[in-house]
Structure 1
């Protein structure tokens, strides 16, 4: 297997959607909302991608200031390539783009908790989420 890793390579919404379908993230992402998916790809400021030839087989998609915090929104690996080290390499290449004090922050699916703990992440109970349909009163 000759996987090529790229930093901020062009990824189309179609390629991203297909990868999400082939990974375990497709069920938890709005893959039927093309405008949203295009915005997710277009507005990420750090994407590390894994390619098997012309096929996108993995992605680490983040938003970051590169110095203090990097929010890893998606770590998706085609199921055919899972358990082969692709995810770990995507995280290594992501960290290499960040400053020495920059934290990598993510929200994991429950089934992925043991993976992140295994590779060195620590669990933080202080995460809060406000869904868009919820309103904060003025």
Structure 2
């Protein structure tokens, strides 16, 4: 799904050990499948949260073939449902996804900061 969504360009999709570590250390993982033969995976949301104050969504990926079907919004709605109204959600958007996040009601944060990773 990361590759099919386009998000794979910014993730270590060729480093299986790192991907396993990323997934294994997430404590909120949601998936979406089409209701069809074989039920292929078409969406995933991965986050890290304390389930009390904040959740950081590190990936929201929907296969290009399934974009526009409400899957991304559905994954975010389910994250909000599981986290509850007292937990804020933050994320860093890819430039081409900014409009999506605005359409589902997220607000931009002008005061976010970032240390880049090495490697």
Could you state the TM-score of these two structures normalised by the residue count of structure 2?
0.91
Question: Aligned partners of 1:61 and 1:124: how far apart in 2?
Answer: 20
Residue 123 (str. 1) matches residue 105 (str. 2): no
Counterpart secondary structure, 1:127 = coil
Please tell me whether Structure 1 or Structure 2 has the larger radius of gyration of its CA atoms: 1
Residue 99 (str. 1) matches residue 84 (str. 2): yes
| Cα deviation 1:66-92 (Å, max 9, x = unaligned) | 111000000000100000101100011
Runs of 4 or more above 6 Å deviation: none
| Cα deviation 1:18-73 (Å, max 9, x = unaligned) | x1111120101111111110111111101110013442110111100111100000
Query: What is the correspondence of 1:77-96 to structure 2 with a 5 Å cutoff?
Result: 77-96=62-81
Question: Aligned partners of 1:111 and 1:96: how far apart in 2?
Answer: 26
Question: Which stretches in structure 1 are left out of the alignment for 5+ residues?
Answer: 1-18, 134-138
Counterpart secondary structure, 2:9 = helix
Question: Which stretches in structure 2 are left out of the alignment for 5+ residues?
Answer: none
* 1:55 match: 40
Tell me how many residue pairs correspond in the alignment: 116
Question: Aligned partners of 1:128 and 1:38: how far apart in 2?
Answer: 26
Query: What is the correspondence of 1:1-138 to structure 2 with a 5 Å cutoff?
Result: 19-52=1-34, 53-133=38-118
